[in-house]
């Protein structure tokens, strides 16, 4: 049996390195795809939360002319009317 010529050995080595590089590139792209899909899912969840906040703020905006809502909002901030006295309770 004849030994392979050195040029065939070199071609085999170049081919093996090319296959190895191609596999490494495919692996890297799959990793990048997985990371981008996770990032897209996180952004989608953040987007849904922001839209929920928008709906909540629009609901508050619709009540801006309601006197009962404004009074409840002011009392929640600790405001009182002119003839009222605020008694603060101390925690035990």
Distance CA 42, CA 48 (A): 10
Residue 22: inside a domain: yes
Number of domains in the chain: 1
Q: Considering the entire predicted model, what is its pTM?
A: 0.55
Q: Is residue 1 part of a domain?
A: no
Residue 88 lies in a domain: no
Instruction: Please report whether residue 26 resides in a domain.
Output: yes
Structural domain range at position 23: 6-63
Q: What is the pLDDT of residues 5-27, one digit of tens each?
A: 778 888 999 999 999 999 999 99
The model's pLDDT over 29-88, given as tens digits with 9 standing for 90+, comes to 999 999 999 999 999 999 999 999 999 999 999 998 999 998 888 888 878 888 887 777
Rounded (10°) CA dihedral 82, 63, 49, 43: -110
Q: Which residues contact 86 (CB under 8 A, 6 or more apart)?
A: 78, 80
pLDDT of residue 13: 92
Give pLDDT, residue 82.
84
**Has residue 82 been placed in a domain?**
no
Instruction: Classify 52 as helix, strand or coil.
Output: helix
Q: Give the closest residue to 70 by CA, choosing from 54, 55, 82, 61.
A: 61
């Amino acid at each position: 049996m004849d030994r392979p010529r050195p040029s065939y050995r070199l071609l085999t080595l170049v081919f093996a390195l090319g296959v190895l590089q191609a596999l490494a590139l495919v692996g890297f792209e799959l990793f990048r795809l997985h990371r981008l899909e996770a990032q897209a899912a996180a952004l989608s969840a953040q987007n849904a939360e922001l839209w929920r906040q928008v709906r909540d703020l629009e609901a508050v905006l619709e009540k801006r002319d309601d006197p009962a809502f404004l009074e409840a909002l002011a009392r929640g901030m600790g405001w009182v009317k002119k003839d009222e006295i605020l008694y603060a309770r101390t925690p035990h």
